[in-house]
Amino acid sequence: MIGVFDSGYGGLTVFKPLAEKFPNYDLIYFGDNARAPYGDKTQEKIYQYTREAVDWLFKSGCEMIILACNTASSQALRRIQQESLPGSKYSSRRVLGVLIPVAEKVAASDADKIGILATEATVKSEAYLREIRKLTPYAEIIQQSAPKLVPLIEAGKIQNQEMKDAVAEYLGSFKARKIENIVLGCTHYPLIKHLIQDEMPKARIFDSPSVIPSALGNYLVRHQEIEQRLSKNGIRKHITTGKPKKFVKFAKVFLNIEIEAEKVTL
């Protein structure tokens, strides 16, 4: 089984194309809605929450977990890979993030002016900045945190004026620097990609949903030892620490997917 973790609903933007690309693989989604958002939390809290969810997913039989959450990928992943996994009973299992595949995609596009839009915690970690810079050292890269966007999206306010104003506000720094390539460094932003594109029509937009499924495909080809351990019965499960009814409704309204959700408490 493959686990897909996010702090809330946003990771469904990644789960949906993964479920489409890998119809036979068993997939379980875990949204920590009760404790979302993570983007304004400390590194210690993000690590602790992510680790609890990862442990739950391991106990539920996941051989591999993808941290779809950019904030968890940038603030908790390395510590989980380097401190929690080695020597534990799950040491042969894998936890992967979403930053490196997206950084590789941007770097491969010969972008020379790149803007990273992300949560406060992701911006603070500078993880995207580091990963992109390693691959394309001469590009001009700026980061912009966008604290209003996740709460507005979680509240379902995707089309209203408040959202449009917030998008315009955050893209101001990119426009001023004539940024041509934008990384959506947050699970939720693909849900407002159209607003971002409307605001900056010429910009190329890079996000996890368009990159992660093929990156996972490549990973599985290179890591047959993991691929062979993944169960393939086409099972889909959705777990939330929040309200299952609200979760199901969000999935239907914003991603047009019909799911059932189960509640767990960590």
Residue 53 touching ligand DGL (CB under 6 A)? no
Q: Is 69 a catalytic residue?
A: yes
Note the maximum CA span of the chain: 51
The one catalytic residue among 186, 195, 212, 261: 186
Which of 64, 69, 76, 179 is the catalytic position?
Answer: 69
Query: Amino acid identity, residue 206?
Result: F
Run of H or E residues at 143 = strand 140-145
User: Residue 241, interface with ligand DGL (CB under 6 A)?
Assistant: no
Interaction pattern, residues 150-169, with ligand DGL; x per rule: CB under 6 A: x-------------------
Give the range of 76-84, 100-108, 180-188, 192-200 binding ligand DGL by CB under 6 A: 180-188
| 3-state DSSP percent of the chain in helix, strand and coil, to 5 | 50, 15, 35
Q: Smaller CB distance to ligand DGL: residue 183 or 230? A: 183
Please, which residue, 102 or 200, has the CB nearer to ligand DGL?
102
- 119 belongs to the binding site for ligand DGL (CB under 6 A): yes
Which residues between 62 and 81 bind ligand DGL (CB under 6 A)?
Answer: 69-71
Q: What is the CA radius of gyration of the chain?
A: 18
* Number of residues in the chain: 266
Number of shown-chain residues binding ligand DGL (CB under 6 A): 17
Binding residues for ligand DGL, rule: CB under 6 A, are 6-8, 10, 36-39, 69-71, 119, 122, 150, 186-188
